[in-house]
Structures are given as structure tokens and as C-alpha cells.
Chains A and B, each alone.
Chain A
Amino acid sequence: MPSLTIIFSASLALIAGLAFYVRSRFLLEKMSGKEKETGRKMYELAILKELGDRIGYSLDVHEIIDIITGSLRQFIEYSAVSYMLIQPEKVIFKVQLEKSVNRGFLNEIRERMLGSLSALLDKELSKSVIEEVLSGVILSEDTNEPVRSFFNIPLVIGEKVVGVLTVSDTKPGLYKEEEMTILYKITQQASKAVSKLQEVVRMEQRKLNSMVESMADGIVMTDNDYRVLVANPAVKTLLGLVSARELSIFDIIEHVAGKFDIRSKLEESIKLGKVLEVPEVILGERFFQIFISPVKSTAAMTSGETLGGVVIFHDITREKELDTLREDFTSMMVHELRSPLDGINKIAELIMSDRTHKHAEKVVHEYVPIIHKSSSDMLRLVSNLLDAAKVESGKYQIFKEPIGDIRKLVAERVKFFDPSVKAKQLVVKIEISADAPGSMSFDENALVGVFNNFIFNAIKFTRDGGKIAIQAFLHQRGKDVIDEARRNGVSWFLKEADQVSKDLPSSLVVAITDNGVGIKRENLPLLFNKFRQFQSAAMSGDKKGTGLGLVIAKGIIEAHGGLVGAASEEGKGSTFYFTLPI
């Protein structure tokens, strides 16, 4: 049966053909699927690259979404691509139309987007102000096509929903999983990039904020309309506005009124684009140097634009005090030098006026001793001043001898002061621990000066019948001095809180302790200050000392590589100690 054969073969052919068709169709589909996918990948890469480039300069979410929506049509078919962004006081609704749709279409996507945004934020948005921006093809009431395909993607930045991105069409069933996935991926990438960038900016801002917050100088920054943008805690403290959470320019104007015209200085500085300086303003009881500077943008896009002004309050009270101290020191020095010199001069005048020499007796026994005393006072003062100056400039020279005997030195010093000790009926105790080296290297003459000073002071500030102890023990590197002292039976006024240097090398520790009047806590740090000591000695009329002895002693010990210190309890006594590295 030829026909059958034909039919058969035809059928076969048909089947084969069909099979071929199906297969090639399948292949074709597969091929175009691959191409399509490559295309998508390429698009994805391109858009991601563009996003990367643009985001590099922008943190503006609008701009980034505009980039996405602007290039989306190469890849997805839609009548409209739109986004909604939450702003502090409104919601932005921006639509790019590709095909003409009517108002109803637009209203529908608007409602749907608002609905999903409300759901995402769990917040009622239907009453929000919505700013609508349309672009692309114009609306047409000729068409009456409803929304048949619709697809929403939340826009998330830094784990916060900031809006939604939507594609919609009048045709049904357009958006499959594939399209959704890719669009989702792109927005996710963009959001990741922005989140990361925002985090970087936030980090920088935090750093900058903590820097400004922790600065000792008071800082106020205002915008061009003098609204306070930044006011650090220091400025609140110095203005006495600590409790104020937000500072306004009026608060500041009010608090510096009559002393500093902040408003006009800012205006001047911004106008001239110049840093201004007010050298000295008294606020409360402190002195401030104030700088006013314009703040200019350094960002690439807006470089040079004035953003406002900054006012910096720099506290110069301490410097002022030091200046006063220095001036006082100089005038006291003049006083202390001029007095004996003037005395000598006046006595000489007196002697010369006695032309008949009838008072020769008086001259020898009364006037000459005054001249001698005045000149001695002056000599001592001049050498002390010179020594103190050397100490201060670090040029105090010591001449160490290799075999110094501390026991002998202490014994000699105590003997030297014996008359004063007896006169005040003091008890002097010498305690040198057995481990103190018998031979050390030090400048004996210089150390004599140090002992003289410490012992003299101990005698002077101890009441009649009081006690003085001269103690010495060996300190081993790394051990606790206070603990070592306790173990050596040393009783002194030093406590753990006094913190003798932690990394003290192995040394001989020498302490001179008395049970005298003691020193006020606040005066302890001033003991070794040249200016203070000299001044208080002069004011107390203490003709036996210039007050510079402690300053010089400190210089001598430091030249030996040791350290000097004092501890005291007011009314109970004081300890002056020094260390000599062995």
C-alpha cells in the first residue's frame, strides 16, 4: 500500500520534521534564553557600574533611583516606572511614563504604592502630603486601560525602608520571577552601596563629633543665618549653660553681651572670608582668646561655598596666671636685690655724714655689721638665682665622685645642725637600712646642699620638742617603693596614692620626715616651683632663705638621675624624699 507507505513515510517525515522543529525550536529558545541572560547580565553589570560611579559622589537617594529607573526599560517592559520616597514632611511620588495611560491608571499605582509603603512601615500614610512628579509620555484620557501587571520592590537603606520602586503595565502577566529577581538584585546592590557609604559618612561624622565634643576649647558653629549647628560641651560650660540641651545664638549673645559681639564678628568674618582674633575676653572668672573663622565647603561639588562660621573659645587663664607669676617673680627679685643694696648705700651715706667721726664706735659695731649682712644676703640671693637659672635651663653641673659614703654624709649633716636642734629641743633619728650601699657615686658638695635644705626646713617647720627622722633604704627595680619602705620600718607620709614613679631604677631612697606643721594639700605641687617659692619666701620676710633651695635641690637630684618629692598631712608633718640611682 503505497499510499499507506506515503502516508507513513510522510507521517514519519512529518514526525521527523516535527521532531526537528520541536528540537530546533527548543534549541532556539535555549539559545535566545542564553543570549537574553547574557544581555541581562551585561545590563546588570553596566547599571551596577554606573551606580558605583555615581554613588561614589552622591548619597542622594533620588539620584540613585533615577539612575536605576532611567535605564530600566532596556530590560523590562512597562507602561510606568515609579518610586515613592519618604521625606521628613512629605512623600515624593515620581513617575516616568513609557506609554500613554490615563489618570485612573496613575491613581491606582499611587494608591497601591502608598498601601504597600504603609504596610512596610506599619504607618498610616494616606494623609501625608504627596508631591507628584511626572515625566515621559503625557497622560491621555483616550485610553482606558487599567493596571494589569504590577510589581513593587521596597527600597531599603541601612536596614530602614525609605520607599518603594514600582513597575506597572496595562498588559497582563508581564512580570515573572526572573524580572523580579534581577530588579530586586539591582535595588539591593544600590541600597547596599548607599548603606555602606552612609555608614562611612556616619563614622566620619561620629569621629568628628567626638573630637569636637571632647575638645577643651569651646566651639560654636553656625550657618549663614547664625543658627547654631554645633555647640560642644566646653562652650556650654564656659558660658554657664551646661543644662541647656540646645543652644541658640541668642543664648550666646546674651551671655557674652558687653564683652564680645559674637554676631557682628561672625558677620565680619564670613563677609571678609577671614579668620579674626579677639586676644582677650573675660568670661566669668576666666580669660579667653577667641577666634572667629568662616567655614567653607571643601566638597568637590560645592568647593569654596561659605557654609557658616565657627567661633573658638580658647582658655588662656593658665597662661595669664603664669605671666602674672613671672612678672611678680621679676619684681620680687628686684625688691630682694635692691633692698640690701639700698641698705648698704644708705648706711654708707650715714657714715659719710658723720664728718666728726664722733660715732666711730657705732660705725664699727653697728653699721659695718649691717653692711656685711646686707651684702651677704645679696650674695646668697644672687648665687641662688644663678643656680636656679642653671637648674631651669638644665645646665646644672654636678661632679660625681666614685666613692661617696651616705652614712658619713648624713652623720656630718646632723652634727652640723646640732646647735639648732638643741635650741629647739628636737629629737633627730637616723635610720639607714643595712642594704644601703656603703659606697656610691654622687657629688658630695651638691648633696650637702640638698641635705642642708631638707634638714633646715624640717627644723624650721617643727615645733619645739618635735621629731625629725632621716631614713634611707634600698629600692630594687620593679618592686613597690611604699612596700619596701614598710618592710624597712620606714615611717613617713608617703602613701600608695602618692605614686612614686613606677619604673624607678634600683636606687637609694632618702627621706627626711618631721612631725611639724605640715603642708596644705594644694600647696604641695608648688613646692618646687621657682616663682611661687621665691615669692612666698619674700612675703614672709624669711631672711634666712630665698625659697629657691627646694628648686635647686630638685635640680641637683635630677642631675644625678634621681627624683624628688614631698608628701604631707597638714598639722601632722611632712616627708621630703629623693632617690639616687645606684
Chain B
Amino acid sequence: MRTLKKVLVVEDDQAFRTVLSETLEAEGITVFKAADGKTGLDLAIKEHPDLIWVDVVMPVLTGLQFIKELRKDVWGKTACIVLLTQLHNPTVVADALENGVFKYFVKADHSVEDVIAETKKYFASLPY
């Protein structure tokens, strides 16, 4: 079964980024943090995390731009991505799913624990 060892959080909202990272770190997971899409992209390509949480509305590169850019990378093509959104925008979600995002959360509808637990469950069910 796959388990999360290192993850990347690409989120411009400091509060959510902090809470998510702190909670993950408390579980012993290594967390890389980025406050914008560009920094996130560089970190992803450098660190090859097991999973990436990415926000949609962000400066420099938006979440969708981040995903599209990442998919151009050899490793990034198959990277695991979870989308975090504050707006349930069906076109954005559809676009993200088309780009191989396997799960998305509307932030306000879930507690951070939920987000982590659900993500882990999905991640574990993925084949190697």
C-alpha cells in the first residue's frame, strides 16, 4: 500500500497553508511549501513529492497553469495532484480533471483532517 512520505502544498493563503502543513508534519510527513504557482512548480520538479495539493486562485501561476506546466515535465506528467478550491467552479474542475487531477476539495466544506484523511484513502488505493 502506498503511503505519503513527502508532499508539496502550493497555496497562497497563509492560514490554509500553515494548517495543512502543520497537520501533515505532525504526522511525520515531510512538507514542502509554496505560496505561488511558479515557486511550487520549481519545488515539484526538484523534490518529486508523492503528492501535490494545489490551490486554484494564486498569483504568478494559477493552479491550472501550474498543473499544465507540470504535465510538460517527464516526472510531472504522472504526478499525483489534489486540487484545493474555494469556489466550486465546474469549468475549472472539469479542466483540472482533464489534466489528470484525481481529487478536488472545496476548502470551506471540509476540515483539514478530512482533506488529509480522504486524500490518503485515495492515494492508498492507487496502483503502483
Contact B58 A370 (CB under 8 A): no
Q: Give per-residue flags for A519-560: 1 if the beta carbon is below 8 A from chain B beta carbons, else 0.
A: 000000000000000000011111000000000000000000
Interface digits, B22-33 against A, CB 8 Å rule (1 contact, 0 not)? 110000000000
B18 touches A347 (CB 8 A): yes
Chain A residues near B57: list those with CB within 8 A: 335, 538-539, 541
Q: How far, in whole Å, are A371 and B22 apart by their CA atoms in the complex?
A: 16
- Please state if B15 and A541 are interface contacts (CB–CB under 8 Å): no
- Expressed in whole angstroms, the minimum distance between the Cβ of A233 and any Cβ of chain B is 37
Please, which residues of chain B bring their CB within 8 A of the CB of A334?
86-87
Is B62 on the interface with A (CB-CB < 8 A)? yes
Given contacts A343-B13, A541-B58, contact A349 B19 (CB under 8 A): yes
A144 at the interface (CB under 8 A from B): no
Task: Give A342 to B108 CA distance when docked, in angstroms.
Answer: 6
B19, B22, B59, B112: which contacts A540 (Cβ < 8 A)? B59
A363-408 interface (Cβ within 8 A of B) = 366-367, 370-371, 373-374
Name the residue of chain A whose CB is nearest to the CB of B111: A349
Interface membership of chain B positions 1-37, coded 1 if the CB is closer than 8 angstroms to chain A and 0 otherwise: 0000000000011111011001100000000000010
Q: Determine whether the beta carbon of B111 is less than 8 Å from that of A343.
A: no
Q: Which of A327-367 contact B (CB under 8 A)?
A: 331, 334-335, 338-347, 349-350, 353, 366-367
Size of interface on B: residues with Cβ below 8 Å to A: 23
Are B14 and A350 within 8 A (Cβ)? Answer: no
How far apart sit A347 and B58, CA to CA, in the bound complex (Å)? 20
Please count how many residues in chain A sit with their CB below 8 Å of the partner chain's CB atoms. Answer: 27
Q: Is B112 within 8 A of A350, CB to CB?
A: yes
Known contacts A539-B62, A540-B59: A343-B14 contact under CB 8 Å: yes
A contact residues around B18 at 8 Å (CB): 347, 350, 366-367, 370
B71 in the interface, Cβ–Cβ < 8 Å? no
A342 lies within 8 A of B16 (CB): yes
Q: Name the CB-closest residue of B to A334.
A: B87
Chain B residues near A353: list those with CB within 8 A: 23, 113
**Residues of chain A within 8 A of B113, CB atoms compared:** 349, 353
A360 CB to nearest chain B CB (Å): 14
With A347-B18, A349-B19, A542-B59: A342-B12 Cβ-Cβ less than 8 Å: no
A353 and B114 CA atoms in complex are apart in Å by 14
CA distance A344 to B22 in the complex (A): 15
For A541, give the chain B residue with the smallest CB separation. Answer: B59
In the assembled complex, the CB of B64 is this many whole angstroms from the nearest CB of chain A, namely 12
What is the minimal beta-carbon distance from B96 to any residue of chain A, in angstroms? Answer: 16
The answer on a CB contact under 8 Å between A350 and B19 is: yes
* Assembled-state Cα–Cα distance A340/B108 (Å): 10
Q: Which residues of A contact B15 (CB under 8 A)?
A: 340, 342-344, 346-347, 370-371, 374
CB distance from B40 to the nearest CB of A (A): 13
Task: Decide yes or no whether B124 CB sits under 8 A from chain A.
Answer: no
Closest to B14 in A: A370
Bound: A350/B16 CA distance, A? 10
Contact, CB under 8 Å: B112 / A349: yes
Q: Which of B62, B86, B112 contacts A335 (CB under 8 A)? A: B86
Q: B54-92: contact bitstring with A at CB < 8 Å (1 yes, 0 no)? A: 000111101000000000000000000000001101000
Query: Are A541 and B36 in touch, CB under 8 angstroms?
Result: yes
Whether the pair A338, B108 counts as a contact (CB closer than 8 A) is: yes
Chain A residue with minimal CB distance to B58? A541
Q: How far is the CA of A353 from the CA of B36 in the complex (A)?
A: 28
Contact A350/B23 with A331-B87, A342-B108 known, Cβ cut-off 8 Å: yes
Task: Please measure, in the bound complex, the distance between the C-alpha atom of A340 and the C-alpha atom of B13, giving whole angstroms.
Answer: 8
Residues of chain B with a CB closer than 8 A to A346's CB: 15-16, 19, 111-112
Measured CB to CB, the closest approach of chain A to B58, in angstroms, equals 6
> Nearest CB to that of A538 among chain B residues?
B57
Q: Give complex CA distance A322, B39 in Å.
A: 34
**B103 within 8 A of partner (CB):** no
Contacts of B23 in A (CB 8 A): 350, 353
Per the bound structure, the CA–CA distance linking A344 and B89 in Å amounts to 23
Distance (whole angstroms) from the CB of A155 to the closest CB of chain B = 72
Give bound CA distance, A335 to B89, whole Å. 11
Cβ of B86 and Cβ of A342 under 8 Å apart? yes
CB B21 to nearest CB in A, in angstroms, measures 10
Question: Can you spell out 20 A-B residue pairs with CB atoms less than 8 angstroms apart?
Answer: A331-B89, A334-B86, A335-B87, A339-B86, A339-B107, A343-B16, A343-B19, A346-B15, A346-B111, A350-B19, A350-B23, A353-B113, A367-B18, A370-B14, A371-B15, A373-B14, A374-B14, A539-B59, A539-B62, A541-B57
A-B contact sample (9 more), CB < 8 A, given A349-B111, A353-B23? A335-B57, A335-B87, A342-B16, A347-B18, A349-B113, A350-B23, A539-B62, A540-B59, A542-B59
